[in-house]
Amino acid sequence: MALDASAISDGAVDLRRAAGRVGDDGVQVSNGWRALTDVYQSPVAPVLVTAMEPVGQGASEMSGAMQTATVALDDYARAISSLQTRRHSVAVDAEVFARAATASPDWRIEPALRAHQSSLQQSVATLESDFDDARQQCVAVLDGIVTPAVQTTGSFASTGQGPEGLGGPGDGWWDPRHLFTRSSLDAMSPAEVNAWWTSLSPAARATYLTTSPQMIGGLDGIPAAVRDAANRSRLDRELARLTAERDAMGFFERNVAQRTLSDELNEKIDAITAIYEALRKGDRQLLVFDVSGREAFAAVGVGDVDAALNVSVLVGGTGTSVESGLVQLDQDSMKMRERAAEIGEVSLMEVAVVGWVGYRAPSALWLAHDPRYAVNGRADLESFVQGVGATSIHPSKDLNLTLGGHSYAAMLVTSSVLDATTPVDSIATYGTPGIASGPFAPQVDKYWLANSDDPIRAAVVAGVFTDQPNVDDGWTELDTSQREIGGTTYLRGNDHKYLQDGSMTQYNLAALIAGRKDLLVPYESGK
């Protein structure tokens, strides 16, 4: 079949224009529908008005998906055009060869003509191979495009529904968070996501970044710098949206009728403020940013996670949230990175430390018995570290990946290294009320730290917390007492704090993060 590159290109232009109008019309439907609030107010009115929002959002995403398809078709048309030009040259060359061969009956034994023939065969083979490549690249992009899942069923504003039924899960409420949950990307492993992303043309990637930043920023397996750009691009918009939503609430709704929602909005606004504060310090990557649920989740990396040879993910424990804990965790991560580079005698570029607040932690210590927080957060942390392994520029055998869990997070990090495919090399738990039941992935080295005056240690001795790391199960306890090492005095770790700058606990964790297990100082019983 003779392919017409300009016809394909023209078709792509037509599709792009029509898809643009789909997006515009969808937005018009949603925007126009909002005028309902001016003429109709009742307990179900907000639900009825909001129910149209996914139409605009869905149409906009469909438009974006089609734009990506047209970019792929354009790339393909250009490749075909180039190949056809080359084929024409080869055809002319073949004619020259044919004339020469006709004039020389013994051409098969003439070296120059045989070389010419061989060159022609090679050109034809390269043309065929390049055509296959162009085709496969186009197919890969088209097959990778996600189209939005817009729900069409639900009794979101049935006339028999009272105000108490508004907006709750299971009430037929259409939630934009459900978009993409059925997508093929969601079902992919981080390694598969990474393979898909690297198969896209630069234009297709740019289109995804522009049209679907929420999806790209949240996908484990997408390169860290891309996730960072996608997540940052949403901060201003989300802050404005949440603030507007909060400010639209009247005094009564804010303080009485919808107090919980009001509190959640305020917490998310505070969370974004905290993220801004961390990012302002520079050399940061915003790897997770999710305010779609009841709580905000975020992960901020210090350094370049993909380029660093030594990467650590630090997870906060009981009481940690983005709004109240991210800034401190980020500060600790930065200091830990500097200490690791110093102890490991490597450049800062070779170390990256991520403060990960991607799960709902228990709010108080008395809830630290409950494994459900870890059970709920496990898949996300597992996937995140798998993503770090998939996007690193270093081979897995060279990458040194350490997972640190403070307090309740010990339960989470230990449960996330049960799978033998984890790319994690070492875990360290500190101030540990409990750990998951093994067996853990055999290649993972396990360490724990417990300050002598940590209330958790006393609670463990008193038998309050039972599932503890122990030497018999292959764990190594690291020292937390004051020591002088290489002319530097590292202070005794105190209380329930383990990441304090200049402490012995920081020293041991930093040595682990730097991949210098030879410098670890183990705990000495009775010292």
CB 464 within 8 A of CB 440: no
Q: Which of 75, 83, 148, 230 binds other proteins (CB under 8 A)?
A: 148
Q: Whole-angstrom Cα distance, residue 183 to residue 186?
A: 5
User: Shortest distance, CB of residue 200 to other proteins, whole angstroms?
Assistant: 14
User: Shortest distance, CB of residue 71 to other proteins, whole angstroms?
Assistant: 13
Q: Whole-angstrom Cα distance, residue 216 to residue 207?
A: 11
Q: Could you give the string, one character per residue 110-139, with x where binding to other proteins holds by CB under 8 A and - elsewhere?
A: -------------------------x--xx
Q: Which of 160, 170, 442, 463 binds other proteins (CB under 8 A)?
A: 160
> 156 vs 356, which CB is nearer to other proteins?
156
SS (H, E, C) 147-208: CCCCCCCCCCCCCCCCHHHCCCCCCCCCCHHHCCCCCCCCCCCHHHHHHHHHHCCHHHHHHH
- Alpha carbon 332 to its chain's center: 22
User: Shortest distance, CB of residue 134 to other proteins, whole angstroms?
Assistant: 9
Q: Which of 103, 111, 159, 364 binds other proteins (CB under 8 A)?
A: 159
> 139 vs 240, which CB is nearer to other proteins?
139
Burial 180-198 (b: 16+ CB within 10 A, else e): beeeebeebebbebbebbe
User: Shortest distance, CB of residue 243 to other proteins, whole angstroms?
Assistant: 22
Among 410, 401, 409, 388, smallest CA distance to 445 is for 401
Segment contacting other proteins by CB under 8 A, of 6-14, 301-309, 451-459, 486-494: 6-14
Among 413, 333, 423, smallest CA distance to 380 is for 413
Q: Which of 162, 282, 395, 486 binds other proteins (CB under 8 A)?
A: 162
The DSSP element (H or E) to which 476 belongs, if any, is strand 475-477
Q: Which of 45, 127, 441, 520 binds other proteins (CB under 8 A)?
A: 45
With left for phi above 0 and alpha for psi between -120 and 50, is residue 224 left, alpha or beta? alpha
CB 287 within 8 A of CB 300: yes
Determine if 52 is a binding residue for other proteins (CB under 8 A).
Answer: yes
Q: Which of 161, 189, 292, 324 binds other proteins (CB under 8 A)?
A: 161
Q: Which residue has the tokens 């469909």?
A: 62
> 153 vs 525, which CB is nearer to other proteins?
153
Cα Dmax for the chain: 102
The number of beta carbons lying within 10 Å of the beta carbon of residue 258 is 17
With left for phi above 0 and alpha for psi between -120 and 50, is residue 494 left, alpha or beta? beta
Relative to beta strand 445-449, strand 475-477 is parallel
**Burial degree of 160 (CB within 10 A; 0-12, 13-18, 19+):** exposed
DSSP class of residue 27 equals H
> 59 vs 368, which CB is nearer to other proteins?
59
Among 63, 78, 53, 49, smallest CA distance to 16 is for 63
Q: Could you give the string, one character per residue 54-93, with x where binding to other proteins holds by CB under 8 A and - elsewhere?
A: xx--xx-xx--xx--x---x--x-----------------
Q: Which of 84, 151, 273, 468 binds other proteins (CB under 8 A)?
A: 151
> 18 vs 420, which CB is nearer to other proteins?
18
> 37 vs 122, which CB is nearer to other proteins?
37
Q: Could you give the string, one character per residue 243-272, with x where binding to other proteins holds by CB under 8 A and - elsewhere?
A: ---------x----x---------------
Q: Which of 42, 104, 198, 347 binds other proteins (CB under 8 A)?
A: 42
Q: Which of 7, 125, 393, 420 binds other proteins (CB under 8 A)?
A: 7
Q: Site for other proteins (CB under 8 A): how many residues? A: 67
> 160 vs 282, which CB is nearer to other proteins?
160
| End-to-end CA gap in the chain | 82
Residues 171-200 that bind other proteins (CB under 8 A): 174
Q: Name the site residues for other proteins (rule: CB under 8 A).
A: 1, 3-4, 7-8, 11-12, 14-15, 18-19, 21-22, 25-26, 28-29, 32-33, 35-36, 38-45, 48, 51-52, 54-55, 58-59, 61-62, 65-66, 69, 73, 76, 135, 138-139, 142-143, 145, 147-153, 156-163, 174, 252, 257
